[in-house]
């Protein structure tokens, strides 16, 4: 169970891509994300913590800024991974 939750997070992070309309940058962005998570914290008797599962309850992208030209807001285009295939056809 824990493993599948971890994978869900990774996929959601990978599915959003950005393009800077100012300079054409596709690869480097500063992304500020506000994320609320529920985590399963498993402590050993000795007090060491192992986080066994992380579930994203809520996720909001606060801002995206281009690392190259510092463009923000409307100048950053959000690309959906799903739209990518449709656009290429
Ligand atoms: Zn840019």
Mean pLDDT of 8-31: 82
pLDDT digits (tens, 9 = 90+) for 29-61: 999 999 999 999 999 999 999 999 999 999 999
Token pair belonging to 23? 């300079």
For the chain, what are the domain ranges?
A: 2-80
| Distance from the alpha carbon of residue 23 to the mean position of ligand 1, in angstroms | 4
Given the DSSP bridges, would you call strands 16-20 and 49-66 parallel, antiparallel or unpaired?
A: unpaired
| Average pLDDT in the chain | 83
Cα-to-centroid distance, 72 and ligand 1 (Å): 8
What distance in angstroms lies between residue 62's CA and the mean position of ligand 1's atoms? 18
Structure tokens at 41: 């914290």
Whole-structure pTM value: 0.61
């Amino acid at each position: 169970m824990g493993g599948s939750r971890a994978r869900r997070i990774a996929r959601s992070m990978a599915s959003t891509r950005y393009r800077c309309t100012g300079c054409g940058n596709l690869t480097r962005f500063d992304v500020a994300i506000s994320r609320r998570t529920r985590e399963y914290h498993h402590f050993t008797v000795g007090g060491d913590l192992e986080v066994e599962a992380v579930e994203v309850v809520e996720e909001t992208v606060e801002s995206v800024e281009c690392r190259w030209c510092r463009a923000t807001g409307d100048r950053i285009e959000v690309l959906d991974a799903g739209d990518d295939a449709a656009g290429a056809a």
